[in-house]
Amino acid sequence: MVSKSFSVTGLGACGEVGRSAFILDFGEKFLLDYGVKLNIEEVEYPLEVNEHVKAAVISHAHLDHSGLLPYFYKDSNCLSFMTQATLDLADILWKDSIKIAEFEGVAPKYTRAEIERTRKHNFIVPYNKKFSLGNDSSLEFFDAGHILGSALCKFTHKDKTFLYTGDYKVDETQLHAGCDLNVGKVDYLMVESTYGDREQANRKLEEKAFCESVQSTVERGGWAIVPVLAIGRSQEVIDILSKYNIDAPIYFDGMAKQVSEIYFRYPELLKDSKGLKKALNSVEWIMGKQGRNRALKNPGVVVSTSGMMHGGPVMHYVRKIINDPRSKIHLTSYQAEGTPGRELLEKGLLLDENAGTVVKAGCRYEKFDFSAHPSQSELIKSIKKWNPKEIFMVHGDKKVMDVFSKSIYSATGVKATRLETGKRTYFG
Ligand SMILES: [Zn+2]
Ligand SMILES: [Zn+2]
């Protein structure tokens, strides 16, 4: 038997969505992403990095991919690679994580000084520029179309190539044109699987249904509350509401505001930066308590973090309308298992983590499907284009991967492998 020269070890995000972290041994050893998983009760971490790595490579800023990097830099001196937009966005999220931990009275996993240390070890990698890593190895990023700065990460060692998708989106969204599928030859692929078992609602129809629901909520005298992820979804939702000319006051609250400032810095990474800027400038940015009280005086639309209702200013508004049958909570993103958003959708219960209460929701609620992840057909389209000889599935529930692997096999004849946490999988 020929011995296999490469390996990948899952430290998290194996059969689950959250805490993405992998060690890739591909000529050199690399840490791919180092994220956290936010559950109802606690934050879950990936396994520790117990081997020496040449570099850390971060696919994008979402906390489930970048959230623990400053902890890694407590005692690591290697370089990290990410896009400038990823670094700018992650920096906001890291600092916010410390604030949240302090607010909750728990010890933060890292300090502000360690965030600075992380920044100092960073090397910015733009899209479409091959960067040599020594030892016949190189790294190249391609636009992943998922959020601002998100990258498909391609490693080359001698004549072999390995592509890690991070999170990506093939089709265009309101903000992004879809990922860059032209990444050249791919021998080995590690692919996210979030929606590997299903198709998504038609985006245009979903946008229309969402805006009609928002408008009718305000017309019947209620508040349309829209919990959003700070990065990407919040900007996208404002852009969609503006496109449909919603006739109601729109309030924008939470960390999403700070993130939007960063979106303004990278117009070249957006489909229509002028349109987005106009939309964001046409809504009222809430500053402080007075603004929040004003937003709750007359029916209107509130777009605020956090997207899965893990605290954040959105909960201030949710508490006020939870028993109002005219009002409606419009969830707009994937709701991970164990999050308050998922509990609301599945059981009609509002878990208020800060107040420590659980109440039956008297308001309306519905989830709208604005995914920034590929549907099954988008996944298969990209896999067929890349045509790898080995495939590793990560970042998805186990049941989803069972369905996804079957569809990969029938489309390509390749038997995809589900990585397991703590286990080294050899290939090559
Ligand atoms: Zn993501
Ligand atoms: Zn993710």
**Residue-range domain boundaries for the chain:** 6-198+372-427, 203-367
Q: Quick one: pLDDT at residue 2?
A: 52
Residue with tokens 């349109």: 275
The class of domain 203-367 in CATH terms is: alpha beta
State the helix-helix crossing angle for 112-120 and 84-104, rounded to 10 degrees: 170
Ligand of minimum distance to the alpha carbon of 307? 1
Ligand of minimum distance to the alpha carbon of 395? 2
Ligand of minimum distance to the alpha carbon of 19? 2
What backbone phi and psi angles, to 5 degrees, belong to 309?
A: 60, 35
The whole-number average pLDDT for the span 68-73 is 98
Spatial neighbors of 110 by CB under 8 A, at least 6 apart, are 70, 71, 73, 74, 94, 98
Expressed in angstroms and rounded, the spacing between residue 152 Cα and the centre of ligand 2 is 13
How many C-beta atoms surround the C-beta of residue 180 within 10 A?
16
Amino acid identity, position 37? K
**203-367 has the same fold as 6-198+372-427:** no
Expressed in angstroms and rounded, the spacing between residue 17 Cα and the centre of ligand 2 is 7
Number of residues in the chain = 428
Query: Is residue 357 very low, low, confident or very high in pLDDT (cuts 50, 70, 90)?
Result: confident
Expressed in angstroms and rounded, the spacing between residue 138 Cα and the centre of ligand 2 is 24
For residue range 364-374, list pLDDT tens digits in order: 999 999 989 99
The whole-number average pLDDT for the span 153-181 is 97
State the alpha helices, DSSP H only, in 222-375: 233-243, 256-265, 273-281, 288-295, 314-321, 340-347
Predicted ipTM beyond 0.90: yes
Expressed in angstroms and rounded, the spacing between residue 249 Cα and the centre of ligand 2 is 32
Please report the beta strands in 310-408, taking only residues with DSSP state E, as ranges in sequence order: 328-331, 349-352, 357-360, 364-367, 390-394
For residue range 233-268, list pLDDT tens digits in order: 999 999 999 999 999 999 999 998 899 999 999 999
The whole-number average pLDDT for the span 42-67 is 95
Instruction: Tell me if 141 sits within 8 A of 166, measured CB to CB.
Output: no
Expressed in angstroms and rounded, the spacing between residue 61 Cα and the centre of ligand 2 is 9
Q: DSSP letters of 38-98?
A: E-SS-EE-PPP--S--SEEE---SSHHHHTTHHHHTTS---EEEE-HHHHHHHHHHHHHHH
Expressed in angstroms and rounded, the spacing between residue 18 Cα and the centre of ligand 2 is 6
Q: Which of 176, 225, 181 is nearest to 371 (CA)?
A: 176
User: What CATH number belongs to 6-198+372-427?
Assistant: 3.60.15.10
**Torsion angle, CA of 428/126/169/275, rounded to 10 degrees?**
180
Q: How far is CA 56 from the centre of its chain?
A: 18
Q: Quick one: pLDDT at residue 355?
A: 79
Instruction: Tell me if 2 sits within 8 A of 10, measured CB to CB.
Output: no
Expressed in angstroms and rounded, the spacing between residue 28 Cα and the centre of ligand 1 is 26
Question: Does residue 353 surpass a pLDDT of 80?
Answer: no
Expressed in angstroms and rounded, the spacing between residue 327 Cα and the centre of ligand 2 is 30
- How many angstroms separate the Cα of 113 from the Cα of each of 46, 97, 213, 258, 371? 22, 14, 45, 21, 35
